[in-house]
Amino acid sequence: MRGPRPPLERALLSWFKSAARDLPWRQTRDPYAILVSEVMLQQTQVERVILRYLRWLERWPTAEALAGASAADVILEWQGLGYNRRAVNLHRAARTVAERGWPDDLTQLPGVGPYTAAAVGNFAFGHDVLPVDTNVARILERTGERFGSPCAQALFDLGATVCLARIPRCGVCPLADGCPSRGSRYEPLRKQSRFEGSFRQRRAAALRAVAAGEQPDDGEALAALARDGLVTLREGAAALPG
């Protein structure tokens, strides 16, 4: 049995009781719904994900329902969320679950790495593991504290709203009194490469064109999309996969 919680952990959980964000995926223990949320959140802001998550679950409420969908429909539904390969991997993961059930090692599912496995394991299956994303890693580094798995959601919210990357809001932080980094300022993080004019933009444009029934003339982008399973190429014609 675990002993008393450390002071910073108690302070964090006390703060979370009143400061928690109201997010729909926190209202379920369904591993499929949690997997959908985690995959969507990998590269997309929370505010953009909420409505898309709800719409996705309305259309495909279970892994079995998603497994029965065509890859083309899945890709079309994903449009606008970016990094479209996530949709293909989520579809493949659903088919794996529908056929074999949930594996003990969740990293066996397509597109599921250690972080996503830890998140689904914690939030759906109650595993004693702390999912460490960029926000959580930042808090661990700044505080020097080891937080337990029940603190995961509180750490997500603290990192997203208070312990910010460059200028943390130490004046309202529940951990400030015991944090050795209190009052520190940080250099701007390296910005992600520009989307405008990038190969990612060309890929996105080519996929939108194929989804609209057009034939883009960007062979390099189409070849990359085909390698990721986002389009099929037959006799020079591109189409969404069946």
- Active site members: 38
Q: Rounded CA gap, 75 and 240, in Å?
A: 8
Backbone angles phi, psi at 222, to 5 degrees: -65, -40
CB 95 within 8 A of CB 87: no
Give the span between the Cα atoms of 72 and 211, in whole angstroms. Answer: 8
For 213, phi then psi, to 5°, come to 85, 15
Cβ neighbour number for residue 45 with a 10 Å cutoff: 9
Q: What are phi and psi of 237, to 5 degrees?
A: -105, 140
